[in-house]
Amino acid sequence: MSVDYAPTLVAILFGIGFSCFFMALAVFLGPKRPDPEKLSPFECGSDPIGSPRVRFSVKFYQVAILFLIFDIESAFLYPWAALYRRLSCLGTVSGTQCLGTVTAFGFVEMLVFIGTLVVALAYVWRKRAIGWG
Amino acid sequence: MLEFLADHSAIAALLKVFFLLMAFVMPLASLSTWAERRQSAMMQDRLGPNRAEITIPGLGWTLRLWGITHFVADALKMAFKEDLVPSKVDRVLYGIAPIMAIAPVLITFAIVPFGSDLCVGKMTEIITSLEGCRRTIPLQVVRLDIGMLFYFALASLAVYGTTLAGWSSYNKWSLLGGLRASSQMMSYEVTMGLSLMGAFLYYGTLEPNAMVLAQGDNPLNWGLFYQPLGFILFLTAAIAETKRAPFDLPEGEPELIGYFVEYSGMRFGIFFLAEFIETIFLAAIVTTVFLGGWHVPGLHEDGFSFLKLPHIAVVLLRSAVWGGKILFLCWLQLLIRWTLPRFRPDQLMRMGWKQLLPLSLLNIVLTAAWVLWRSAH
């Protein structure tokens, strides 16, 4: 069966176009009366001290890396979840019922996979990589 | 006319996305900016915004309506405010950031089914099922097998909007605010995906309309009763994702300087609006997965058992009830926002990684075991 992707493209173009329309409103309707004080960075009314390109806590990087790991691993679960009923049935599936022998194949596969996830989570937990302090 | 639309999916999609966004999402988002202030006022024993009114010229007659027209005044004010671009910002990224914040949530609305399929040519007849239809028009802009995956893929893009806004502004506070926001959004996005996994497993699909069809018109079969833990986990994680109280650490109106401090006028308005559209989208997803989507209790394809209805009436009634469910969930979010106090950053991280994530993994295992047990009996 061929999938019709044209509506997806329409939706994406419409979403981007609509957002750009809002930006255009800002650019074209608003008056422009710049002055140096108004355009300086906000720092509680005083002149900015130093550069804003400051060093920040490495914890932010850790969160980003953990997100990548766990989000990619969860992406592997989507096809498994969608096919779970078929994986756990050796006959044909009709609705929620399995006509044939029920097998724990899909369940065990998933347990192994989630088990690895839990081990990873326990490791970063112990290493105090998650949470603050 | 309808035959033409049934054959030309791209034109139909343009009409549907235009209708959905212009006639439902944008008005509701604008109204909820007013409703939020009015609701908070009621809960805090204040009057709130109730003064905006429209005077009809010539009649000397004013339209006040409890101040509902405040949102018109707010929108006009934002559009005509000075367009300020601070001198040291990275101009390209500074301009792109608001678009990156609002575009993903507008696009993801395409996967939400806002009504049941229209049977072309049998609008005024009473039909018992859609099987006799030669052509149908789905009341859903995009119907893809990967539906929910499309949503998660686009939702992750919204993180760029906040991070870029914080970084490009050339301001210490907005940089730190952007980092806070992005780490919060990333922490809860993992739980968001995993907490819905049980529902995907139960329905056996990732396609939103198929989930709605699987739930049926008996409210006891709706996802809420089969995935109660998943429902609570998803609602919590998704509210954290919208960055609203009790999770408003990235930006708290008077006291926490956030990632869009250098944005003003309509550019700020876009971030503001994106937040409200996200609450509506969250309501739409919860409705689809847990509250039966467009299903009306007891309403079959041919009407109620005691009252047969023509096809068009059934479809309209379903869409209206779908809108009602979303309004209810939006109101629930307002109530949560004004009831609970804000978390501390360490509590936020601890809850996301050490409580919600293990619980959502547990939910997957429990659901899988239950589905296996059910298919054996």
Mean pLDDT over B338-357 rounds to 90
DSSP B256-309: B--TTTT--HHHHHHHHHHHHHHHHHHHHHHHHHHS-TT--TT-BTTB-SSSB-
Residue A61, C-beta contacts closer than 8 angstroms, at least 6 positions apart: none
The answer as to whether B236 is a domain residue is yes
Distance CA B361, CA B234 (A): 12
> B136 has which bridge partners?
B119
pLDDT recorded at residue B240: 93
Q: Of all helices (H) and strands (E), which one includes residue A61?
A: helix A59-87
Q: Among residues B26, B13, B10, which one has the least CA distance to residue B281?
A: B26
Mean pLDDT over B69-98 rounds to 90
- Token pair of B363, please? 């939910």
Terminal Cα-to-Cα distance of chain B (whole angstroms): 49
* Per-residue pLDDT at B130 exceeds 60: yes
pLDDT recorded at residue B345: 86
Q: How many residue pairs bridge chain A and chain B with CB atoms within 8 Å of each other?
A: 240
Q: Do B349 and A38 touch (CB under 8 A)?
A: no
Q: Do B179 and A106 touch (CB under 8 A)?
A: no
- For A12, the closest chain B residue by CA position comes to B107
* Per-residue pLDDT at B369 exceeds 80: yes
B39 touches chain A (CB under 8 A): no
- Token pair of A41, please? 């960075």
Nearest to A67 among B10, B187, B358 (CB): B187
Q: Collect all residues of chain B within an 8 Å Cβ-Cβ radius of residue A114.
A: 361, 364-365
* Per-residue pLDDT at A132 exceeds 80: no
Inter-residue contact B235 to B242 (CB < 8 Å): no
Query: Could you report the per-residue pLDDT of B180-228, keeping only the tens digit for each?
Result: 999 999 999 999 999 999 999 999 899 999 999 999 989 999 999 999 9
Inter-residue contact B89 to B167 (CB < 8 Å): no
- Token pair of B3, please? 């035959």
Q: Among residues B164, B144, B241, B163, which one has the least CA distance to residue B195?
A: B241
pLDDT recorded at residue A81: 92
The answer as to whether A131 is a domain residue is no
Distance CA B70, CA B266 (A): 16
- Token pair of B161, please? 């909007």
A22 touches chain B (CB under 8 A): yes
Q: Collect all residues of chain B within an 8 Å Cβ-Cβ radius of residue A23.
A: 95, 98-99, 266-267, 270
- Token pair of A117, please? 């996830």
pLDDT recorded at residue A133: 59
H-assigned helices in chain B: 2-7, 9-19, 26-43, 70-79, 91-108, 147-168, 172-203, 208-215, 223-226, 228-241, 265-290, 311-339, 345-350, 357-376
Q: Collect all residues of chain B within an 8 Å Cβ-Cβ radius of residue A15.
A: 17, 103-104, 106-107, 110
Nearest to A114 among B107, B150, B365 (CB): B365
pLDDT recorded at residue A94: 74
pLDDT recorded at residue B249: 87
Residue B53, C-beta contacts closer than 8 angstroms, at least 6 positions apart: B62, B63, B64, B67, B69
Residue B225, C-beta contacts closer than 8 angstroms, at least 6 positions apart: none
What total of structural domains would you count in chain A?
1
The pTM of this model reads 0.92
Cα separations in angstroms, A7 against A46, B1, B110, B140, B216 = 51, 18, 9, 10, 26
* Per-residue pLDDT at B377 exceeds 80: no
Best residue of A37, A85, A88 to probe chain B, by most B CBs closer than 10 Å: A85
Task: Identify the domain containing residue A26 by its residue range.
Answer: 6-126
% of chain B surpassing 70 pLDDT: 100
The answer as to whether B18 is a domain residue is no
Distance CA B301, CA B288 (A): 18
Nearest to A114 among B266, B353, B364 (CB): B364
Task: For residue A94, give the CATH number of its domain.
Answer: 1.20.58.1610
Query: Could you report the per-residue pLDDT of B249-282, keeping only the tens digit for each?
Result: 888 877 888 899 899 889 999 999 999 999 999 9
B156 touches chain A (CB under 8 A): yes
Model ipTM value? 0.90
Cα separations in angstroms, B236 against A38, B2, B281, B373 = 39, 41, 14, 29
B18 touches chain A (CB under 8 A): yes
Minimal Cα–Cα distance from B121 to chain A, Å? Answer: 23
The answer as to whether A17 is a domain residue is yes
Q: Do A7 and B9 touch (CB under 8 A)?
A: yes
Mean pLDDT over each residue of chain A, to the nearest integer: 86
* Per-residue pLDDT at B92 exceeds 90: yes
Q: Do A70 and B173 touch (CB under 8 A)?
A: no
pLDDT level of residue B3 (50, 70, 90 thresholds): confident
* Per-residue pLDDT at A1 exceeds 60: no
* Per-residue pLDDT at B232 exceeds 90: yes
Q: Collect all residues of chain B within an 8 Å Cβ-Cβ radius of residue A26.
A: 79, 83, 265-267, 269-270
Nearest to A30 among B10, B81, B361 (CB): B81
The answer as to whether B295 is a domain residue is yes
Distance CA B6, CA B290 (A): 29
Q: Collect all residues of chain A within an 8 Å Cβ-Cβ radius of residue B214.
A: none
Query: Could you report the per-residue pLDDT of B288-320, keeping only the tens digit for each?
Result: 999 999 999 999 888 888 888 999 999 999 999
The answer as to whether A133 is a domain residue is no
Torsion of CA A78, B112, B32, B94, to 10 degrees: 60
* Per-residue pLDDT at A29 exceeds 60: yes
Inter-residue contact A98 to B376 (CB < 8 Å): yes
Task: Identify the domain containing residue B340 by its residue range.
Answer: 89-376
Terminal Cα-to-Cα distance of chain A (whole angstroms): 53
Distance CA A86, CA A97 (A): 10
Distance CA B193, CA B203 (A): 15
pLDDT recorded at residue A2: 65
Q: What is the three-class DSSP state of A98?
A: strand
How many residues appear in chain A? Answer: 133
* Per-residue pLDDT at A75 exceeds 90: no
pLDDT level of residue A57 (50, 70, 90 thresholds): confident
Distance CA B30, CA B107 (A): 18
What total of structural domains would you count in chain B?
1
The answer as to whether B129 is a domain residue is yes
> B256 has which bridge partners?
B252
Q: Of all helices (H) and strands (E), which one includes residue B63?
A: strand B61-63
